[in-house]
């Protein structure tokens, strides 16, 4: 989305869209976010390393779960939102002319997690927040966003409708736009999670190996992909390292726009899907696309069905005892059920297998919604 109002000019010290930029972002937001837990699950690792059918792919996978469902506001989005606010504060300090952007506030559009994240980050700095939310957003996400003090404006569910509502808010308030994913500050903030995850896995592995063993690190990370902010940020965090990064999407009603664009060489700019993975209903943004595809920092994209997402969600609830939303498990669903991905790992890793990081990106889901998902027919 293009911001129709002037925004603070980036300072020469603004972090670049590189791994170094992620390092700088991590230091800036450290006082505001949680270092979320890294968990393993023997049962899910065994399932991922078992053929789904006779003759099916049989990769060796060791799974590590980054629990961003336990991040502030219940999702990774807090990282990008706090980074965007802190960068704005650095670039445009208060003035005495009565024209300070802080008094006019910030605005965004989001189905829920970025909405909550920006509302919290703005409140922390005493800045008004205007949040455009689709009217079909889940009630818990609406309630939480309002609870953080934001002014909520409802809109239709498509990107076009959301952006039109944002333009109206900007025209009436002069608020500064902070997009949910298509912005350098958001991308760098989300990337801090990937850097944190790689370090946690390395520390865990070091404690399991003998002193004479060579150091190990993650072979790959899979993140969910909606607008691409997290995927591109994690890709930047792994730039120049041996850790490969992959994206995971729902296939329902064309929600796998990132995958289709990646393999056709053309970014898809519009998506209209009601996949149960509601956080992934948006098209990949232009800036994430430049990192994911044009710079080739993402090694591949994979998609899964609604039934596979539900199966993975049930496994996380029953085996890991964690509250996560459907969007959070698309990466796990790829590792468990996508035969193309599984065959690729088996082919490239051989008997050694892969240490694979999976991002549980959020846990904002209502009990009512879960009941409907798992209701008996």
Active site positions, annotated: 77, 111
Contact 156, 135 (CB under 8 A): yes
Q: What angle do CA 328, 332, 336 make, to 5 degrees?
A: 155
Contact 306, 370 (CB under 8 A): no
Print burial letters for 150-169: b (CB count within 10 Å at least 16), e (below 16): bbbbebebebeebbebbbeb
Burial of 241 (0-12, 13-18, 19+ CB in 10 A): middle
Q: What share of the chain is helix, strand, coil (3-state, %, to 5)?
A: 50, 15, 35
CA distance between the termini of the chain: 41
For residue 152, the surrounding DSSP H or E stretch is strand 151-155
Total Cβ atoms within 10 A of residue 18: 16
Contact 178, 170 (CB under 8 A): no
Q: What angle do CA 74, 223, 366 make, to 5 degrees?
A: 35
CA–CA distance, 112 with 156 (Å, rounded to integer): 14
User: CA distances (Å), 5 to each of 9, 92, 186, in order?
Assistant: 12, 15, 19
CA Rg value for the chain: 20
Work out the widest C-alpha separation in the chain, in whole angstroms: 72
Give the CB-side neighbour count of residue 222, counting CA atoms within 13 A.
31
């Amino acid at each position: 989305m293009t911001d129709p109002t002037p925004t603070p000019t980036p300072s020469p010290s603004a972090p670049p869209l590189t791994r170094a930029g992620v390092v700088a972002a991590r230091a800036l937001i450290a006082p505001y976010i949680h270092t979320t837990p890294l968990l393993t699950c023997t049962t899910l690792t065994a399932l991922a390393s078992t053929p789904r059918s006779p003759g099916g792919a049989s990769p060796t996978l060791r799974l590590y779960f980054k629990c961003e469902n336990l991040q502030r506001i219940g999702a990774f989005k807090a990282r990008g939102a706090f980074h965007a606010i802190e960068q704005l504060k650095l670039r445009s300090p208060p003035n005495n002319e009565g024209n300070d952007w802080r008094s006019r506030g910030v605005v965004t559009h989001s189905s829920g997690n970025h909405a909550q994240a920006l509302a919290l980050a703005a409140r922390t700095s005493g800045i008004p927040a205007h949040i455009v939310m689709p009217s079909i957003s889940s009630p818990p996400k609406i309630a939480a966003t309002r609870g953080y003090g934001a002014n909520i404006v409802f809109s239709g569910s498509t990107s076009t409708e959301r952006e039109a509502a944002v333009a109206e808010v900007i025209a009436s308030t002069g608020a500064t736009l902070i997009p949910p994913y298509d912005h350098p500050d958001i991308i760098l903030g989300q990337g801090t999670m990937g850097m944190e995850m790689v370090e946690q896995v390395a520390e865990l592995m070091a404690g399991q190996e003998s002193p004479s063993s060579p150091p190990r690190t993650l072979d790959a990370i899979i993140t969910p992909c909606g607008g691409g902010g997290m995927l591109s940020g994690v890709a930047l965090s792994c730039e120049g390292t041996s850790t490969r990064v992959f994206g995971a999407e729902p296939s329902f009603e064309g929600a796998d726009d990132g995958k289709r664009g990646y393999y056709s060489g053309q970014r898809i700019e519009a998506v209209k899907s009601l996949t149960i993975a509601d956080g992934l209903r948006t098209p990949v943004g232009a800036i994430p696309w430049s990192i994911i595809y044009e710079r080739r920092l993402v090694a591949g994209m994979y998609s899964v069905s609604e039934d596979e997402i539900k199966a993975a969600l049930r496994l996380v609830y029953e085996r890991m005892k964690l509250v996560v939303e459907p969007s959070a498990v698309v990466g796990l669903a790829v590792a468990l059920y996508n035969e193309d991905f599984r065959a690729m790992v088996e082919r490239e890793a051989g008997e050694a297998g892969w240490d694979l990081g999976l991002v549980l990106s959020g846990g904002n889901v209502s009990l009512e919604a879960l009941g409907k998902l798992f209701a008996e027919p």
